[in-house]
Structure 1
Amino acid sequence: MVNDKDRGDPTSSYPRYREIKRFILDGVKSGQLKAGDRVPSEAELTVQFAVSRMTANRALRELTATGLLVRRAGSGTFIAHSKPIGHLIEIRNIADEIRTRGHSYRSRVVLNETVAADRSSAARLNVRVGTRLFHSLIAHHEAEFPLQLEDRFVLAAAAPGYAKVDFTVTTPNEYLTRVAPLEKVEHCVVARMPDEDIRGILGMQRGEPVLVMTRRTWSGGRLVSHAILTHPANRYELTATFEVAPD
């Protein structure tokens, strides 16, 4: 286990939940924490870092979403065993990502509505035509520049309050992580040329390509969200950092 004396600095401007994440990541990198080791519980972290239970929960929740941790009901939270590299694209909240760079974040909600699944949206979530879904279309801005267009369908039964959320205050990522904790994530990334509507929302010129990430997420044993995240290729990059254990 990592020593209790390695506490976060209460005077630091670094977000406290990120201090906890860094603390656990450093433990893994140094070898103090290995696959199968138990990490401090939420209660232990609240004391060790002098933070709220919500802050400790967020740190563990986000590390679980990346695949680094696995949470076992009644037992605790543990370092996960190695997973394929393709699972290592971090599920990052776009607002946090932008603010970490020292820039302001804002969103523009183009739509957030309740719909009955048609053939296309039903196929996205593997449900029957007519199933109640939520559909949101949100442009995320870094300073004044549109950085991401998020086109998302959500299974209404899994996140019943989705259509009432003010997504200028929070993000779909933040809300869904709270009400439908991630169990499984699937990513696919491609480069393509955007259509006129997407160019207009993202403020792009004709001939400029985009990076498109399709993300499907599962919770409670079912597929709950299908998102198409479109980024101007000249303003965004996708990265993943990982370590390979020796044979």
Structure 2
Amino acid sequence: MLEPKFAQIKQHIISKIKSAQWEEHSKIPSENEFAEQFSVSRMTARRALTELCEAGVLTRNQGLGTFVASFKSQSSLLEIRNIADEVKERGGQYSCLPITLESMSAIAPIAIALGVEIDSQVYHSVLVHLENEIPLQVEERFVNPEFAPDYLQQDFELTTPHEYLCKAAPLTEAKHTVEAISPNAEMCNWLALYNEEPCLQVIRRTWSSNGIVSFTRLVSPGSKYRLGGHLTFKRNK
């Protein structure tokens, strides 16, 4: 069965980027040029470019054209770091307690977040990250099996999901939502909280060059974890 034309255009663009024929920040052909090359309507070509822009592979500049995006696994404010490295840098002893590792049918919110069909199979994990045997963070992650087929076979007591996914599907983009929450009883149990201490919750989606890789919820006690960032501002001359 032949792929739809818009999917063929997407694959063509991705192959050009992967082979380094089109490098970061380089301008790519226009919608009209793709439409002519693949003998399709401009609307079909636009769909291909739009989906790759939404996935973080391309970026558009009004009036200038479409360009290959910068592939950096961080947002403008929050750097994505491996929690095991953070703990070790502080001189602590990192460990992990796996709670859940399973394949499941994607309900609507998960399917939408991962860009897959409802009821399709996705991977689901719940891990507790510990520092000096004290719970530091609960990580609940949903993964698209297409980009990380061996996810459930990993020993997460030896490697973190972040480490595995960076190798299996190198990250190109991440989007975050950060908020304070009141943990439920299950979360209090995982984090060994004996009162209703406010927690910090980070919701994160990550992309590789081919699409959305994972949708993750990170929950940490407010007294044990914080987020920081560094911004550099240029002076106007």
- TM-score norm. by structure 1 comes to 0.65
The one of 13, 17, 20 equivalent to 1:73 is 20
Runs of 4+ in 1 over 4 A off after TM superposition: 74-78
The one of 200, 210, 214 equivalent to 1:221 is 210
User: SS state of the match for residue 157, structure 1?
Assistant: coil
Residue 168 of structure 1, CA deviation: 0.4
1:206 counterpart residue number: 195
The one of 115, 126, 130 equivalent to 1:137 is 126
Instruction: Please tell me whether residue 152 in structure 1 is matched to residue 99 in structure 2.
Output: no
1:128 counterpart residue number: 117
Show the 5 A alignment for 1:6-21. Answer: none
- Percent identity of equivalent pairs: 37
Query: What are the Cα deviations for residues 89-123 of structure 1, in whole angstroms up to 9, with x where unaligned?
Result: 11000000000000000000001111121223213
* Greater RCO, CA 8 A, separation 6+: 2
Q: Please say which of residues 96-105 and 216-225 is displaced more in the overlay.
A: 216-225
User: SS state of the match for residue 194, structure 2?
Assistant: coil
User: SS state of the match for residue 234, structure 1?
Assistant: coil
Distance 1:86 1:181, change over 3 A: closer
The one of 177, 193, 199 equivalent to 2:166 is 177
Query: What are the Cα deviations for residues 24-71 of structure 1, in whole angstroms up to 9, with x where unaligned?
Result: xxxxxxxxxxxxxxxxxxxxxxxxxxxxxxxxxxxxxxxxxxxxxxx9
User: SS state of the match for residue 173, structure 1?
Assistant: helix
Show the 5 A alignment for 1:86-125. Answer: 87-125=76-114
1:194 counterpart residue number: 183
Residue 203 of structure 1, CA deviation: 0.6
Distance 1:76 1:99, change over 3 A: farther
Instruction: Please tell me whether residue 242 in structure 1 is matched to residue 189 in structure 2.
Output: no
Distance 1:86 1:93, change over 3 A: closer
Residue 161 of structure 1, CA deviation: 0.5
User: SS state of the match for residue 110, structure 2?
Assistant: helix
Residue 86 of structure 1, CA deviation: 5.7
User: SS state of the match for residue 87, structure 1?
Assistant: coil
CA contact (8 A) 2:82 2:163 kept: yes
Work out which of the two has the higher radius of gyration on C-alpha atoms and give 1 or 2: 2
Instruction: Give the aligned CA root-mean-square deviation in angstroms.
Output: 2.4
User: SS state of the match for residue 204, structure 1?
Assistant: coil
User: SS state of the match for residue 213, structure 2?
Assistant: strand
Instruction: Please tell me whether residue 163 in structure 1 is matched to residue 152 in structure 2.
Output: yes
Count, aligned residues: 174
